[in-house]
A and B are shown apart, each in its own frame.
Chain A
């Protein structure tokens, strides 16, 4: 891969943002698991497992919204 200085700067910004997104997602997973998973354990998950947990959380949120029950 060959990049000029603008390209390198753009790539570094993109990588920083993606790394921040991964950290944020691991923290979200930890929060939604209510102590069932520590931050370290969330950081040890693979992409496929994180996607599955995210899908379960989304499903749960939708069910909660439909049922009108409080969600903390």
Chain B
């Protein structure tokens, strides 16, 4: 209990949200769910806005974690938050901070005209769903059960992927001999493949047969590294299938100039997260 008499003047929650995961997948003690299952969302402070604009903190993921801790204190450890809740949480923070309307610019692929639209982010929030990780999949004798990656997993994988891509782009423009370039390219591609495999292994909660259950990520990774291509591809496709309902859906737009209807991908990233600074 906070005894500070000034608590009544602290910032107030602007909205309340329900997590797509309903709190499933959070480690014990990392989420304070209310009686109604909803979480209060506070607007960002000026400090949060500056944190979210600090490039190094954005790159290593700590900016997102600090802002979530400040705006949704009920999520006590955002690093371990299931990534299925991430878009909902970021959209909720944006709504709490700047309101539900988000303006964006889009180019019609039919006539190349630029058009400005306003999107009601509440409708996006209403459509958010979590993947159903209760279902299991059979691959021959094996029964596969998936799980959500945590924000920490996805952030680590993204940083590793970025470093490899950066290395490739530096290599492309360098004066290194062609043979050496090919060697380095091979090494980088191997690292990217290994990274993808780790991500898939982290996405598998358990593999069961009639005789045993394996839930150790290292053992699952070892199995992925030594399985045949067809099984690996099937696992990948199952993951895509299980996650497809939880992706942000593209927006259907009708061009104001030529009436062409097209789909515009929608993501919640740095380019559209902030409204104009005050």
Complex CA–CA separation, A59 to B164 (angstroms): 53
Given contacts A22-B50, A47-B98, contact A11 B270 (CB under 8 A): yes
Complex CA–CA separation, A29 to B97 (angstroms): 19
Q: How many residues of B contact A (CB 8 A)?
A: 24
Complex CA–CA separation, A23 to B278 (angstroms): 10
- A47 lies within 8 A of B55 (CB): no
Q: Which residues of B contact A22 (CB under 8 A)?
A: 46, 49-50, 53, 277-278
| B221-278 contacts to A (CB < 8 Å) | 267, 269-271, 274-275, 277-278
User: Does A15 count as interface, using CB distance less than 8 angstroms?
Assistant: yes
- B11 lies within 8 A of A46 (CB): yes
Which one of B47, B54, B267 contacts A1 once the chains associate, using CB atoms below 8 Å?
A: B267
Q: Which residues of B contact A19 (CB under 8 A)?
A: 49-50, 53-54
Q: How large is the interface on A (under 10, 10 to 19, 20 to 34, 35 or more residues)?
A: 20 to 34
Q: Which residues of A contact B274 (CB under 8 A)?
A: 18
Which has the most chain A C-beta neighbours within 10 Å: B46, B269, B275?
A: B46
Main secondary structure of the interface of A (DSSP, over half): helix
Interface Cβ pair total, 8 Å cutoff? 69
User: Does A38 count as interface, using CB distance less than 8 angstroms?
Assistant: no
Which one of A16, A18, A44, A51 contacts B11 once the chains associate, using CB atoms below 8 Å?
A: A44
Residues in chain B within 8 A of chain A (CB atoms): 11, 42-47, 49-50, 53-55, 58, 97-98, 169, 267, 269-271, 274-275, 277-278
A/B interface sample: 16 pairs, CB < 8 A: A5-B169, A11-B55, A15-B55, A16-B53, A18-B277, A22-B46, A22-B53, A25-B46, A43-B47, A44-B11, A46-B43, A47-B278, A48-B43, A48-B98, A51-B278, A54-B278
